[in-house]
Amino acid sequence: MKQPVSGFSKKSKLEKIEWLAENYLSNNPSSAQNLKKYWNEDDQLQQLHDDFIENTLSNYYLPFAIAPNFLINGKFYALPMVTEESSVVAAASNAAKFWLERGGFKAEVISTEKNGQIHFNFYGNEKSIEAFFEIVKPKLIESIQSIEKNMKSRGGGLLELSLVDKSHILEGYFYIHATFETLDAMGANFINSCLERMAQTFEEEARRFEAFQKDEVFPEVVMSILSNYVPECLVRAEVSCKIDELTSKNYDGKQFAEKFVRAIEIAKTETRRAVTHNKGIMNGVDAVVLATGNDFRAVEACVHAYAARNSYYGSLTHAKIENDIFTFWIELPLAVGTVGGLTSLHPLTKLAFEILQKPDAKELMKILAVAGLAQNFAAVRSLITTGIQKGHMKMHLMNILNQLQATKQEKEKALDYYKENAVSHNSVTSFLKNLRK
């Protein structure tokens, strides 16, 4: 039976690997050596990565790619993308090229407000908590002066505080809703520091408040934390063209546009389709979020809650045809940063920002929305025309060849053969078998 370990984090990296090999890889202890293969030979660089998290044993590689030819508000971008999914970068690049020939993408930031809450219990008279909140509000603001100083000097900081009564839903539950402008920072640390300090002041002042003392009922803070739901931090991206411009050798522009709009309507109506549709959007968004060192879990959680804001889960993209013009757009709530966190620490995120020509947070929001829109366009275009598997399996071919340990020559022959033939695991296996006879 396996035994618990104490003081594991204090062991050296080699000791940790040894412990792992003995305890969890005893059938094949040498497999632990793979961890060392991925160590960087530059010790300083390796140390930097070791220090990102606790108990680091090695590095986990994902491809870092670029999708060029994105024209956004008249400016060219090559989007850095980190993803394991084989068709994502090719799809983004195709969509970028397609829209480059039709005027490119337009994007605008609608709002940039973040928020957080001090959640507390209060079982007394609601009039007295309202009266207390009005009195304590300036003191809460004052208490974060030192935390806010730098952010304020740059034009950001706390925007507003309000009291929200949720006691009709959960007995005794109230919160203070705080809104913030965090400029180019994602703002999690700043917001949480402000909230925790205000929560402390709130409780201290409450102990001195007469009405509470009289009733012997005081508010009790449960927790203080930012919300990753940021529907007031919104960006919109759009493409449009005459429907004639959608005509290709394989389909008529009007038919294509109508089928496309229908596909979006289906994703707006049916959750089973909407989830996959939005997953495709996030293939593009997450890849750029990851490349720029931002928090993809925060972005994911927020975006899906937003997709369900009308009490059902629907498409994040929209499409219409008006006066023979096809318009396709997306609205996304995105809390991302271009300073702080990993953004200036990881050498490849630094590079990603250089590739993007050092955007501020608003510009990054626009780029991300465009990445999602482009990815969704590519997916829906394939779905309503050739089907998804053709392009998908073409990109997956190299993975299958690698799995079957094809040599360089075998890969060249396979790539040539599958220009004209449908890719499947079985077919590639037989193809290689024939070659190897």
Residues that are catalytic = 85, 279, 295, 392
With left for phi above 0 and alpha for psi between -120 and 50, is residue 235 left, alpha or beta?
A: beta
Residues 375, 251 contacting (CB under 8 angstroms): no
d(CA 99, CA 97): 6
d(CA 381, CA 260): 7
Residues 323, 228 contacting (CB under 8 angstroms): no
Closest CA to 177 of 247, 239, 213, 230: 230
Helix (H) or strand (E) holding 179: strand 173-181
Which span sits near ligand MEV by CB under 6 A: 232-240, 275-283, 356-364, 415-423?
275-283
279 makes contact with ligand MEV (CB under 6 A)? yes
Which residues are CB-neighbours of 86 under 8 A, at least 6 positions away?
A: 392, 395, 396, 398, 399
Query: Which parts of 45-90 are beta strand (E)?
Result: 64-72, 75-82
d(CA 223, CA 282): 30
Residues 235, 365 contacting (CB under 8 angstroms): yes
388 makes contact with ligand MEV (CB under 6 A)? yes
Task: Using CB positions, name the residue nearest to ligand MEV.
Answer: 280
152 makes contact with ligand MEV (CB under 6 A)? no
- Using the rule CB under 6 A, which residue among 104, 219, 280, 372 binds ligand MEV? 280
Q: Which is nearer to ligand MEV, 18 or 270 (CB)?
A: 270
391 makes contact with ligand MEV (CB under 6 A)? no
Q: Which is nearer to ligand MEV, 55 or 276 (CB)?
A: 276
21 residue type, one letter: A
284 residue type, one letter: G
d(CA 404, CA 164): 60
Least distance between ligand MEV and beta carbon 31 (Å): 30
- Interface residues for ligand MEV in 83-112 (CB under 6 A)? 85
- Interface residues for ligand MEV in 346-385 (CB under 6 A)? 379-380, 383
Distances (CA, A) of 144 to 150, 158, 186, 339, 387: 11, 9, 19, 21, 55
259 makes contact with ligand MEV (CB under 6 A)? no
Q: Which is nearer to ligand MEV, 205 or 265 (CB)?
A: 265
249-253: long-range pairs with CB below 8 Å, 24+: 250/385, 251/385, 253/326
Q: Which is nearer to ligand MEV, 343 or 382 (CB)?
A: 382
Residues 74, 104 contacting (CB under 8 angstroms): yes
276 makes contact with ligand MEV (CB under 6 A)? yes
- DSSP category for residue 18: H
Q: Which is nearer to ligand MEV, 347 or 387 (CB)?
A: 387
304 makes contact with ligand MEV (CB under 6 A)? no
d(CA 237, CA 368): 9
- Using the rule CB under 6 A, which residue among 277, 318, 366, 396 binds ligand MEV? 277
Which span sits near ligand MEV by CB under 6 A: 94-102, 219-227, 277-285, 353-361?
277-285
Residues 340, 151 contacting (CB under 8 angstroms): no
Least distance between ligand MEV and beta carbon 371 (Å): 14
Which span sits near ligand MEV by CB under 6 A: 8-16, 273-281, 332-340, 349-357?
273-281
Least distance between ligand MEV and beta carbon 96 (Å): 17
Which span sits near ligand MEV by CB under 6 A: 127-135, 173-181, 227-235, 279-287?
279-287
Q: Which is nearer to ligand MEV, 228 or 375 (CB)?
A: 375
- Using the rule CB under 6 A, which residue among 283, 294, 317, 338 binds ligand MEV? 283
Which span sits near ligand MEV by CB under 6 A: 68-76, 128-136, 221-229, 276-284?
276-284
Query: Which residues of the shown chain bind ligand MEV in the complex (CB under 6 A)?
Result: 85, 276-277, 279-280, 283, 379-380, 383, 388
